[in-house]
Chain A
Amino acid sequence: MKIHEFVGKKLLKESGIETPKGYVIKNSDSLQVKFLPAVLKSQVLVGSRMKAGGILFANTKDEFFTNASNLLEKEIRGEKPYAILVEEKINIKHEYYISLYIDRIEKDIKILFSENGGIEIENNKNNILNLSINDYKKLPDKFHDIVIKLHKLFTEKDLILLEINPFAEDENGKLIALDCVMHLDDNALFRQKWAREFVNDSYPFHFVKLDGDIGIIGCGAGIVMATMDAVNLYGGKPANFLDLGGGANSNVTLEALRLLKSLNVKKIIMNIFGGITKCDEIAKAIVKFKNENKNLPIFVRITGTNEEEAKQILDENNIAYFDDMYEMIKFAIRGEYQ
């Protein structure tokens, strides 16, 4: 999960990395000016915040109140801000870029470093050093101690990305982290208690809203994505990604079906290959849902663990099902049956 800048800055500070002086404003009632000039930064988790108007400056009190109220209300790339971060303005002499990330191929932590920070790093690949964490001594001397601190923070806090862009050098030669992007490993939340208050875990399954009108449901991320792909290939548009995960029971399945219904989908495609998941649990949910929603077409493919029991339940309730996922999807989208 992505970590808000103000939380990241706090962690950096605790690790001994210099950050600008600052404070957080959560709503318009608590607006107050502590210093000027100030930088006002919308606390959203989307990228390219600057370009989207999420960072404003204030030289006067009037400017401060106008811009701060504006930012508190403003959605940045579709996201409402959590708060705004007010920071002192730093006079920058030079900008660097540094990030720590996890390399899948080498299965270890690596460093990206550039002498030229502040610009779009993706378009500046030739000027970037890409080093193993153990080779940090190849960086300019003044970054050695910083990298040791960042590395400690990275492992202790279970981060999978830590990016400081820009890492500014001020007129006195002091290195100050002006912005930071942190991604935390979701699987490590059980031991990273500081991050829990920001977790937004509203469903007992994995759900992503998409633009189309066909509801998709399945168990296993891979099979749900393969189902979405097939719906697209046959000319349909998925309304969502919904992975029930392994071992979903009938209540969770029913909750998932009801969520899709609330998206006003035209039809629902359900692709179940039960491994840990028991098909009869799924079938019970389908029957209940079908009784509540007689006019919403639902196409079911069901196979795997407890398949026979599931099919009996569906037969008894006159609900049709398929054995093959592509036959089901073709039929659901094009009305063809082979």
Chain B
Amino acid sequence: MINGNEKVCVQGITGKYGKFHTKKMIEYGTNIVCGVSKNNKVTNIENIPVLDNMFEAVKKYKCDTSIVFVPAPYAKSAIFEAIDSGIKKIITITEHIPIHDMIEIHKKAKEKNITFVGPNCPGIILPGISKIGIMPSSAFKPGDIAIISKSGTLMYEVSNYLSKKSTGIKIAIGLGGDPIIGTSIDEALEFVTHLNPRKIVIISEIGGNDEIIGIEKFLKKGYNANIQVFFAGRTAPKGKRMGHAGAIIEGYEGSIEYKENKLNNIGIFVAKYIEELLEG
């Protein structure tokens, strides 16, 4: 996913969030080499050169990774440009990207064998090394636990607990909570396993059951890992949309009751309180 050696380009660097988080990422030690913006008046932000397009970014600065802050209506064309430029990894922070755009983006990224994380996610952090994302870094103390999360703020909450009261975080990946996301749970699991974490914590919500399918797929491949899961939305009413595009119980298979039963049957611990994740 990331190893800390990425040459990162910030797409949408002149926007409010792009600018703010470029500064934060540089302070954290991330190797930001350039930015891209369609606002052609600004040529420099935080001593980082601002370019017109991704082709230039890849050609001139040998970028291999982009982090996308481009607003949703323009996100598809920005991401397509990144894919066409030959970039290897794309991490999309932008929220509210239409589902049909994401279907097209996912197809194109898959065809070109690009790692795509997000959208609507906090990004990825290797505590103490690098972060390509927007997470408050104080909640991520370096350690040996891997986190894979479909919820942004809950990833901060859980990481903060495990940083203060347990052994800290080796990697945290925010996959995003939208119905269509670029990287699925099983792909993220496979990646973090190669880092040999002491345990893997998966954070999710009501709606969908891709965690279950992802974990089953991962285990079927013969991997063995200490996995714990925490779900939010146990008490959410059926049929109501709880803020997120993804967080709606559409049927029994999206309910936590179903998901918890399924996981218990294959021996995976499901925590009712975040505090229970301190054990094991």
Contact = CB atoms under 8 A, between A and B. Distances in A.
A228 B240 CA distance: 14
A18 interface: no
Given A122-B251, A276-B17, A222 B203 contact: yes
Contacts of B234: 225, 229, 232
Given A105-B213, A326-B274, A241 B236 contact: yes
Interface residues of A, number: 48
Nearest to A157: B100
Given A274-B136, A276-B134, A326-B275, A229 B99 contact: no
Given A241-B243, A275-B135, A276-B17, A222 B180 contact: no
Interface string B96-131: 111110110011000000000000001000000000
B152 to A, nearest CB: 6
A158 B73 CA distance: 13
B273 interface: yes
A105 B254 CA distance: 13
Interface stretch (B34-42, B50-58, B153-161, B260-268): B153-161
Interface of B: 17, 72-73, 95-100, 102-103, 106-107, 122, 134-136, 139, 150-154, 156-157, 160, 177, 179-180, 184, 203, 205-206, 208, 210, 213, 232-237, 240-245, 247, 251, 272-275
Contacts of A104: 179-180, 208, 210
Interface in A250-306: 273-276, 303-305
Nearest to A186: B245
Contacts of A230: 273
5 contacts: A221-B177, A222-B244, A225-B232, A229-B234, A276-B134
B98 A273 contact: no
Contact of A102 (B99, B205, B272, B274): B99
A222 B205 contact: yes
A228 B98 contact: no
Given A222-B153, A226-B274, A243-B243, A155 B100 contact: yes
A128 interface: no
B177 A222 contact: yes
Given A222-B154, A305-B136, 14 more contacts: A107-B102, A107-B107, A122-B251, A155-B100, A185-B100, A210-B237, A218-B153, A220-B154, A229-B232, A229-B234, A246-B95, A273-B157, A275-B136, A325-B157
B230 to A, nearest CB: 8
A151 B210 CA distance: 25
Contacts, number: 144
A76 to B, nearest CB: 15
Main secondary structure of the interface of A (DSSP, over half): mixed
Given A206-B243, A241-B242, A326-B275, A226 B251 contact: no
B158 to A, nearest CB: 9
Residue picked from B73, B235, B244, most chain A C-beta under 10 Å: B235
B244 A238 contact: no
Contact of B154 (A206, A223, A231, A304): A223
Please name the 7 residue pairs, one residue from A and one from B, whose CB atoms are nearest each other, closest first: A220-B153, A222-B151, A221-B243, A222-B154, A206-B243, A225-B232, A188-B98
Contacts of B103: 102, 107-109
Contacts of B156: 273, 275, 304
Nearest to A226: B232
A226 B77 CA distance: 35
Interface of A: 102, 104-105, 107-109, 122, 155, 158, 160, 185-188, 190-191, 206, 208, 210, 218-226, 228-233, 238, 241, 243, 245-246, 273-276, 303-305, 325-326
A191 B274 contact: no
Contacts of A224: 242-243
Residue picked from B100, B234, B243, B273, most chain A C-beta under 10 Å: B243
B235 A228 contact: yes
Contacts of A210: 237
Given A104-B208, A223-B154, A158 B106 contact: no
Nearest to B252: A122
A208 B232 contact: no
B73 to A, nearest CB: 5
Contacts of B136: 274-275, 304-305
Contacts of B107: 107
A224 B139 CA distance: 18
B245 A102 contact: no
A318 to B, nearest CB: 27
Given A108-B103, A158-B100, A226 B243 contact: no
Contacts of B236: 225, 228, 241
A335 B267 CA distance: 36
Contacts of B272: 229, 233
Contact of B210 (A105, A188, A223): A105
B96 A187 contact: yes
Nearest to A274: B136
A108 B179 CA distance: 11
Nearest to A207: B243
A320 to B, nearest CB: 20
Contacts of B244: 221-222
Contacts of B274: 226, 325-326
Contacts of B152: 220, 222, 275
A220 B135 CA distance: 13
Contacts of B213: 105
